[in-house]
Structure 1
Amino acid sequence: MSVVGVDFGTLKTTISVARRGGVDVIVNEVSNRSTPSMVAFGPKSRYIGETAKTQEISNLKNTVSNLKRLAGRKFQDPEIEIEKQFIAADLVEAANGDVGVKVKYRGQDEVFSATQLMAMYLTKIKETAAKELKLTVSDIVLSVPAWFTDPQRRSLMDATEIAGLKLLRLMNDTTAAALGWSLRTNSNRVLPEAGETPARVAFIDIGHSTYTVSIIAFDKSGMTVLSTAFDRHFGGRNIDKALIDHFAGVFQEKYKIDIYSNRKAYFRVAVAAEKLKKVLSANTQAPINVENVMNEVDASGMLTREELEELIAPLLERVNAPLEQALAEAGLTKDDIEAIELIGGSTRVPSIKERIAEFFGKPLSYTLNQDEAIAIGCGFGCAMLSPVFRTRDFAVHDIISYPIEFTWEQSPEVPNEATSMVVFKKNNPVPSTKILTFHRKEPFDLEAKYAEPEHLPGKMSPWIGKFSVKGVQPNEENDFMVCKIKARVNLFGVLNVESGYYVEEVEVEEEVEDDAAAPAAEGMDIDNAEEPKPKATRKVKKQVKKGELPVVAGTASIDEAQREAWANREREMANEDKLVSETENAKNQLEEYIYSCRSKLYGEWEEITTEAERENLSKTLSEAEDWLYDEGDDTTKARYQLREEELRFIFQPLQQKYNDKKNPKPKNEEDPNVMRM
């Protein structure tokens, strides 16, 4: 059984696996330690990961990036307009008002939902891990931004199930990094004992699109997230956008071209801007060069680090806000923070590092690999939850980012009853369970929603789910049934009303402790051999569980029928991709065999063939080559294989004849195929 952790990033994804020696990051098919988070569609198959990135510019309208930013979103959400700046494909309204993408796939216009797109990508991640492990991949732990809401998390959960994966936990990015940090820390230093003042560490993650700060307390028993703050539109892509806008003006003035009017030109400049940003992190000045940006113009320019800092000044002014919020919610001061750990590619920008160091007034720490820390933590988290591995006991206590309240209709027989309650407050521990008590004579409904919708990402609906409690009826005395409803925020950070039951008050007898015996008078003997007196009891009323109450849930998760339909479609597309890949391999193998035979025909085989034979064999190869580039340019895998078998039937005897001549058998060696009489 496999144990896999996945840092599913906006720009790229990193995969880790737990092995006996620890947790390792694995490489993909081109030996890269991360894979572009991208899905594209072509006339024959899909392109996912590295292959999608390779053809991005030539197939922009059918290439989808920033997949995670679409999770759980409605098309009418104003933040979809922001995402359109970073996604070349056409965003459209899909089923149920969700955001989808319109692409041309196998010659047909199709619309795929964000959940389907993520499932496609996770299928590729599963295949990459399986190839490395040489095992079927099932159990995974997946990273997720701390600010993701219930619908967004459920969208990821549905995607993993469609991809044929068993999700053990959704782990917040900074929580995963902190778990990885605890692994390294235990080998380098001693954490405080449980009950002592914990070590408090700030984890700052600035990736491609999000800036997150978490204050986390550690001791030997585990880690507790004290607070998390974030800026959802602060990251590498925002710096890239500032560079693109700058050079759009430069190229407009210098070359009289408008990159905003040409989608390919825009994304060509975007690729160059990202490279420029990385160079400026280590150098004070760097050039930008974009070949054939548009209208056959090769554009170029220069930028200094100081100029870059001026361009992103509005962004830099927002660095302190999440830091201040995280400290305030944790109830700590800067002096209480023992270390400041930086992760994420954008923490390499010098001006960002300088501002963070200045805020805390102490050196920054780089204990973790900035690009792989989250994946390592997810891998360890998966090992902790998997029955395959035995890991040290180490508790991980996360928190929710938004308060959750329940609402219900007032019972007509309870006129003063409240109709809402905040059940899970902000920063409530995760996982967490609450028992809600209701007095009812008939079935009733509960609705869960976020209590502070103004703090949600974008204009997302605060609605989380509706839960219908069935089987409620008056008790034997025609009085209220006392209903107990169990609400739980689980390891995925999503809310479920898992079960309900009803209780009744019954009288039970319980023992009463005897009063201490009176001290004996001085000089009086006590006979200890007397029979013990029966213990005193008293009758008390207690609530006793009498039966279950079915709960029917309606949430943002897709229904079972839709999930199964999408899973079947995903399997079909994956099989089509596999067939296309195998067909292309068969074609390449045939072409390679033709070239190999031609090379040998006028090379090593010359001494075993006559000129007339070579002429006839060369003609045979030319006919096969003509077929390959004409009629056989687009045919089936079976036809390529048949054509190769036909050629091998002709040319393999030549190879055998050549081998026999070069390595003749000794004269005294008997032929094993000749029967001795």
Structure 2
Amino acid sequence: MSVVGLDFGTQNAVIAVARNRGVDVITNEVSNRATPSLVSFGVKSRSLGESAKTQEVSNLKNTVGSLTRLAGRSLKDPDVAIEQDYVSAKLVDINGQVGAEVNYLGKKEQFTATQLTAMFLTRARQTASGELKLPVNDMVIAVPAWYTDAQRRSILDAAEISGLKVLRLINETTATALGWGITKLDLPAPEEKPRRVAFVDIGHSNYTCSIVEFRKGELKVISTAYDRHFGGRNFDKAIVDHFAKEFKEKFKIDINENPKAKFRVVAACEKLKKVLSANAGAPINIESLMNDVDVRGFLKREELEELMKPLLERSTVPLEQALAEAKLKPEDIDSIELVGGCTRVPALKAAIQNFFGKQLSFTLNADEAIARGCAFSCAILSPVFRVRDFSIHDIVNYPIEFTWEKSPDIPDEDTNLTVFNRGNVMPSTKILTFYRKQPFDLEAKYAKPDMLPGKMNPWIGRFSVKGVKADAANDFMICKLKARLNLHGVLNVEQGYYVEDQEVEEPIPEPKEGEDGDAPKTRKVKKQVRKGDLPISSATASLEQSIKDQMAEKEIAMVMEDKLVADTEDKKNELESYIYELRGKIEEQYAEFANEDEKAKLREKLEQSEDWLYEDGEDATKAVYVAKIEEIRAVAGPIVQRYLDKVEEERQAVLKQQEEAAAKKRAEQEAAKQAEAEKKAAEEAAKKESQDAEMKDAPEDGKTEDPQ
């Protein structure tokens, strides 16, 4: 079982995997640790991630980004109108969901944001599988803390379409906090004052601050605040607008009229911003930007900070909100951890440091902390790994209420109840009790729609409770419903059942010393006893299973199409390489193995094949390329075979020489051993003979010679 975490960002995605020795961030097919969150469409196939980025400038209208900011939204959402500034493809409405209209396989196609997200998750899954050499089925995915129920369901649906099982959707700052806390061995004991850490994450498009309390073996998020339109791309836009104005005055060109020119300026401004993070000034130079005009400019860091001023003025708002909700002051925070690419901007760091009045901490990898936290979360939830016990208590960001129709039998009944308040612990379960004589419906929605991102529909779901009826005495059925906000932050009414009041006997606690010991041992009490289940049917923002199945089939078909196109391209490249390889070898390696007639035939065949490849063979099928390779092999085969026979003959000769040398060496070793043995035997014999002679010369014991 794989243990994989995914930081699914607006601009890039980072994949981390837990192994026995720790957590590693894995690289993609071009050895980058972050993969662009892009999906692109072409006349032959899709391009995902790196390949989509490579051709983005030449295929702008068919490339879709900002996937996490489109998921679960409608085209009418004002936030989606903002995204159109950052997405080159045309955004359209598809059955109430936002999607993109693109040219794919030579015709116009429309894909929902959920489908586009599924496509990218397919690429993430393939990247992880390729690295691990294992199938990847389970994953923990990080999402922005401000995501609503509909947005979370959209990511879960996309994962299912791509063949992934999501073990947990985790808020980005919560994942960062987990990655920070799980490795700490010096956290306070449960009964001690907790360590409070502010995690500030400023990425490409989001600014989030979470205040988290740590004790040994647990983290508890106590507040989260965010600015959904504050990030690296907003800084980039300020720089782009500055240079757009400058280029219009200086060079008389308007980049806003040319999408490709504007894209190139955005890319150059992003690089310039990074240079200014470490330098006082930086140039910008773009050749032939548009109308064959070369442009150049220069920006100082002070000028950049002036451009950023409206943004920097907002930089402390999420910090103030997070502290206010946590009922804390800046001095109550023990540590401030910064992550996200945008936290490298000096002016932003200075503003945050001034707000807290203490040194900032950068112990986590700014770009990879979220992915690492996701991998740790996956390891905790996986039966494969043994991880230090660490519980995660996140919070509800938007209050959720249930409403229902008034029962005709209870005229003064309240018809709504806020079940999950903002700041409640998540995951969480609440039991709702209803007195009814007939089936009924209830709806869940967000209690304060003005808190939601954009103008999202506050509706979460409708739940119909079946099987409800009055009892024999025409009394109410007592219905219990289990409402659960699960690990993903998704709400469901998971279970329904009915109970009856019954008298049951329960034991009375033992009497204390001095009390009457003859008191009864049991007493009768009224208790609610569960009698049976109530079926519940749900209607939520999740896609119907049949639709998900259709989308999954389409995704599989597109994956197969991508594979076929890739294989075809490989065969085309193989044919081209084979032509060049043989052309060189026939004059060198193979020269002595072919007569002039054979050489002429092979050269002619290679020339014909090359002409075909660059004229008619540009868009041939895989089978045609394979056939062309075989045609060349048929002509070159006898020549190549003679060469291989000669190589084999030489190899065998070398082997024979090696064997003869080895045999000779063995014979010499045996002869040496024999000579050594004979020498040793001769020495032993001489030694024995010497000892025998000594014994013969010695007088016998007890006898003396006659003196006469």
In the superposition, the TM-score normalised over structure 1's length comes to 0.95
List alignment gaps of at least 5 residues for structure 2: 658-708
Asked whether 1:150 is paired with 2:137, we answer no
Contact 1:5 1:377 in 2 (8 A): yes
2:484 — aligned with what?
488
* Alignment partner of 1:307 is 2:296: no
Judged with a 3 Å threshold, the aligned counterparts in structure 2 of structure 1 residues 53 and 518 are, in CA distance, closer, same or farther, namely: closer
Alpha-carbon distance between aligned partners in 2 of 1:433 and 1:661, rounded to the nearest angstrom: 78
- Once residues 361 and 135 of structure 2 are traced to their aligned partners in structure 1, the CA distance between those partners, rounded to angstroms, is 38
Shift of 1:514: 4.8
**How far apart, in 2, do the equivalents of 1:29 and 1:345 lie?**
22
1:476 deviates by 2.2
SS at match of 2:32: coil
**Equivalent residue runs for 1:345-356 within 5 Å:** 345-356=341-352
1:292-371 correspondence to structure 2 within 5 Å: 292-371=288-367
The verdict on how the C-alpha distance between 1:582 and 1:418 changes in structure 2, with shifts beyond 3 A counting, is same
Within-5 A mapping of 1:180-195 = 180-186=179-185, 190-195=186-191
Look up the match of 2:439: 443
Q: Which residue of 2 aligns with 1:128?
A: 127
Cα distance between partner residues in 2 of 1:516 and 1:432 = 39
Decide whether aligned partners of structure 1 residues 649 and 289 sit closer, same or farther in structure 2, where only a CA change above 3 A counts: same
| 8 A Cα contact 1:201 1:337, kept in partner | yes
1:615, distance to aligned residue in structure 2 (A) = 1.9
- Paired position in structure 1 for 2:65: 65
What corresponds to 1:4 in structure 2?
Answer: 4
8 Å CA contact 2:428–2:484 kept in 1: the answer is yes
Q: CA deviation at 1:416?
A: 1.6
* Contact 1:513 1:535 survives alignment (8 Å): no
* Equivalent of residue 513 in structure 1, options 500, 509, 515: 509
Distance (Å, rounded) in 2 between the aligned partners of 1:331 and 1:534: 51
Q: Could you say which residue in structure 1 is the equivalent of 2:106?
A: 107
Deviation (angstroms), 1:77: 1.1
Any unmatched runs of 5+ in structure 1? 521-531, 671-677
CA distance in 2, matches of 1:398, 1:218: 12
Consecutive aligned runs of 4 or more in structure 1 exceeding 3 Å deviation: 513-520, 532-535, 659-663, 665-670
CA contact (8 A) 2:42 2:103 kept: yes
Aligned-residue offset at 1:652 = 4.1
1:269 aligns with 2:254: no
1:622 alignment counterpart: 607
8 Å CA contact 1:511–1:535 kept in 2: the answer is no
- Rounded to whole Å, the distance in 2 between the matches of 1:183 and 1:423 is 31
1:265 CA displacement: 1.3
Superposed CA offset, 1:325-366 (max 9, x none): 111111111111111000000000000000001111111001
Quote the offset at 1:7 in angstroms.
0.2
Q: d(CA) in 1 for partners of 2:371 and 2:628?
A: 46
Cα deviations across residues 234-272 of structure 1 (Å, max 9, x unaligned)?
000101111111111011011111111111111111111
Query: Hey, what's the Cα distance between the residues in 2 that align with 1:106 and 1:142?
Result: 31
> Residue 255 of structure 1 corresponds to which residue in structure 2?
251
CA 517–564 in structure 1, closer or farther in 2 if over 3 Å, else same: same
Which residue of the partner structure matches residue 694 of structure 2? none
Residue pair 2:75, 2:81 contacting (<8 A) in 1 also? no
Distance between the aligned counterparts of 1:247 and 1:516, measured in 2?
Answer: 86
Corresponding position of 2:396: 400
Alpha carbons 1:514, 1:535 under 8 Å: kept: no
The Cα of 1:183 is off from its aligned counterpart by: 3.2
Corresponding position of 1:84 = 84
2:541 to 550, 556, 568: 556
Q: For 1:546, what is the secondary structure of its paired residue?
A: strand
1:34 aligns with 34
Q: Which amino acid aligns with 1:72?
A: G
Q: Alpha carbons of 1:518 and 1:302: their partners in 2 closer, same or farther (altered >3 Å)?
A: closer
Is the contact made by 2:593 and 2:643 (CA closer than 8 Å) also made in structure 1? yes
Q: For the Cα contact (< 8 Å) 1:259–1:265, is it kept in 2?
A: yes
CA-CA distance at 1:604 after TM superposition? 2.1
Q: Write the distance in 2 (CA, Å) between the matches of 1:76 and 1:554.
A: 22
Identify if the C-alpha distance between structure 1 residues 539 and 253 changes in structure 2 by more than 3 Å, giving closer, same or farther.
Answer: same
| Partner of residue 611, structure 1 | 596
What residue identity is the alignment partner of 1:394? F
Answer whether contact 2:601 2:635 (CA < 8 A) is retained. no
Instruction: Kindly provide the CA deviation profile for residues 173-230 of structure 1, in whole angstroms up to 9, marking residues without a partner as x.
Output: 00001111113323xxx11111211111000000000000000011112100010000
The equivalent of 1:116 in structure 2 is: 115
- Map 1:418-457 → 2, pairs under 5 A: 418-457=414-453
Q: Take 2:554 and 2:295, find their aligned partners in 1: how far apart are those partners?
A: 44
State the AA in 2 paired with 1:591. E
Instruction: Provide the TM-score with structure 2 as the length reference.
Output: 0.90
Q: Go from structure 1 to structure 2 and tell me whether the alpha carbon gap of 1:538 and 1:263 turns closer, same or farther (over 3 Å shift).
A: same
Correspondence for 1:650: 635
Q: Give the superposition deviation at 1:68.
A: 0.8
Q: Is residue 120–residue 570 contact of structure 1 (8 Å, CA) maintained in 2? A: yes
Matched residues in 2 for 1:364 and 1:382: separation? 29
| Counterpart residue type for residue 135 of structure 1 | L
Residue-pair matches, total: 655
